[in-house]
Chains A and B, each alone.
Chain A
Amino acid sequence: MKALLRRPSGAIGLVLVAVHVAIAVTAPWIVPHDARAISAALMFSPPDAAHWLGTDHLGRDILTRTMLGGRQALLVTAIATPLAVAWGGMLGMYLGLAGGQRDDVAMRLVDALLSLPWILKMLLMIVTFGAAPQVLVPVLAFFYGVPVIRIARAATQGVVARDYVLAARARGHGRFSIILREVLPNVRDALMVEGAMRWSWMLLAFSSLSFLGFGVAPPTPDWGLMIADSRSFLAIAPWAALAPVAALSSLIIGINLTADALAKALGLDRAHSAPQ
């Protein structure tokens, strides 16, 4: 934690994330206006003293909606991320330790799942089961746990031949006990960084889905939805789109700066990533 804060990028990242979480938690009590109050007289009013960030095409206050717009995304992803890391991490450690045929079969399945684009998998689920948070949490946790399996498995294979694992085996410890007591402490760093990355990918997926019209339903304020709504009015009311753009970007940048600084502080190399 200290090593993380000592790096400027880590400190900036953590502050950004903390501010976003604080706003999301307290927003319902501190927003200046009603997020759903529609007013024809206030349509597209530019930023002024009453509406600091202006209003949108329905005269709704942009500051209010931007402050509230991250709540669903943060709530869903904050629950789904630990779930994804937990199940992906456990399975990955188990496969790394067990090896053999079970490992071969499981990894082929992982490869197969990873070869499909995320949006196809997510959309199929959403079109069938809807986009309520109780659907999105398990679906996101499942799909975003799959790449974690790979990371945890690779990290486990790095320690599986070490003396302390052999010693634990010789002492007659079961697989589960070896995973928790010998493997997990060595894989934890990699899982933490991976978890931060999964969180940012999930936020990206969540807001992209809202943007495409498959996520949060209007009139609930949501960044992806707000950007989609105000995109057509960029020429007359750029503030309506730029405020949620800034909010969403700063949160995702914050998470990534933190993950990057964390990886550097822990001595992990996470430069070899590909877009997803």
Chain B
Amino acid sequence: MLAYALRRTLLGLITVALVSAMIFFAVEALPGDACTAVLQRDAHGQRLENCRREMGLDRPATARYLDWVGGAIRGDLGASAGSGKAITELVGARLANTLLLAGLSMAVGVPLALLLGVVTALARDRAPDLVLSTVAILAMTIPEFVTATLLIFTFSVWLGWVPGIVLASADAPISTLFPTIWLPVAVLTMVMTAHILRTVRSSMIDVMEGDFVQMARLKGVPAWRVVWRHALPSALLPAINVVALTVAWLLGGVVVVEKVFNYPGLGRFMVDSITERDLPVVQGLALVVASAYVGVNLAADLLALLLDPRLRTARLRA
């Protein structure tokens, strides 16, 4: 088990190392660099050369890559080409906002998904299941900006309960974000609840047909106890990975939602930096988001290993 855990961790580290190289050299290969972005129309001749020398862009790419990785390990991602501020600082404030958004969505979405997943599994192919499963397909497939538009129309234009967009800067205190955060949270919760619900439903259906559940029933365990104490814990194992992928999505993929609601998080920052061609920021952000993705998935695999005794004795495979 320990060997597997170590191996899995090592694979995660290799993936992060690969991503870092991929990001760095891909961005490198694209036409234009930090200097052409800063100088814009003046980017030619002596000024361009001077700027490149100042920023160290005249050194070979591999040397700069090693510097970049070394800095990233020490927690220094360099400076933004646009504003000159430290990237870790810029990312930090927005990461906190995105974590707030993601945390709230998880806090609402995960329990809701578990509850609805169990309900749909128990009511399999009957009215509550058919209705909820259809709603889940709608929620997970309709683009987020469409859901967002409909929610804004309903709750801020029509009913006037909450503001439609967030008007707060990246370093605003949490209290100013709070009244405006509910619509983005609602959009994200809908998507993630739908995905987790479907996983819980399908594994719950499998588990409920298992021998140990039959056994518990036959020996007269009350129905609710069979569901919540005997069946649900085993049914949750497949859900761990989906929850992990959802967390990764929340940390990196909520660009559209943040953009729609003007929410000052990582996603909006990513779009803005790419349009401004602030390449050092793009590289730093990509590294942070990819590491989060790998880390969360690693944590999920290790957690599954810890919770499922069957995996410990199973043949050790990568």
- Measured CB to CB, the residues of A under 8 A from B are 9, 104, 108-109, 111-120, 123-124, 127-128, 200, 204, 207-208, 211-212, 224, 227-228, 231, 234-235, 238, 241-242, 245, 248-249, 252-253, 255-257, 260, 269, 271-276
Contacts and interface: CB of A to CB of B under 8 A. Distances in A.
Contact of B202 (A108, A116, A228, A271): A271
Contacts of A252: 141-143
Contacts of A115: 15-16, 19, 248, 289-290, 293-294
Interface string B1-31: 0000000000100111011001100110011
A-B pairs with lowest CB-CB distance, top 4: A274-B245, A271-B202, A117-B252, A112-B18
Contacts of B142: 248-249, 252-253
Given A117-B255, A200-B141, A227-B146, A234 B152 contact: yes
B99 interface: no
A212 B30 contact: no
A128 B157 contact: no
A273, A274, A276, most chain B CB atoms within 10 A: A274
Nearest to B141: A256
Contacts of A109: 18
B22 A113 contact: yes
B286 A120 contact: yes
Contacts, number: 157
Interface size class for chain B?
A: 35 or more
Contact of A124 (B249, B252, B255, B282): B282
B145 A208 contact: yes
A234 B199 contact: no
A267 to B, nearest CB: 13
Interface of B is mostly: helix
29 contacts: A108-B11, A108-B14, A112-B22, A112-B290, A115-B293, A116-B289, A117-B270, A117-B289, A120-B252, A120-B274, A120-B286, A208-B144, A212-B256, A224-B145, A228-B145, A234-B157, A249-B138, A249-B146, A253-B138, A256-B141, A271-B201, A272-B241, A273-B195, A274-B242, A274-B245, A274-B248, A275-B195, A275-B246, A275-B249
A253 to B, nearest CB: 6
Interface string B129-162: 0000010011011111110011011000100000
A104 B195 CA distance: 29
B149 A248 contact: no
B94 interface: no
A93 to B, nearest CB: 20
B179 interface: no
Contacts of B82: none
Contacts of A269: 202
Given A119-B256, A274-B246, A245 B274 contact: no
B4 to A, nearest CB: 16
Contacts of A238: 153, 157
B122 interface: no
B195 A248 contact: no
Contact of A231 (B149, B191, B201): B149
A207 B153 contact: no
B83 interface: no
A212 B274 contact: no
Interface string B161-199: 000000000000000000000000000000110010011
Contacts of B46: none
A255 B149 CA distance: 22
B149 A253 contact: no
A111 B15 contact: yes
A94 B249 CA distance: 29
Nearest to B140: A275
A274 B274 contact: no
Nearest to A111: B15
Given A115-B294, A231-B149, A234-B149, A208 B256 contact: yes
A123 B252 contact: no
A204 B294 CA distance: 24
Contacts of B18: 108-109, 111-112
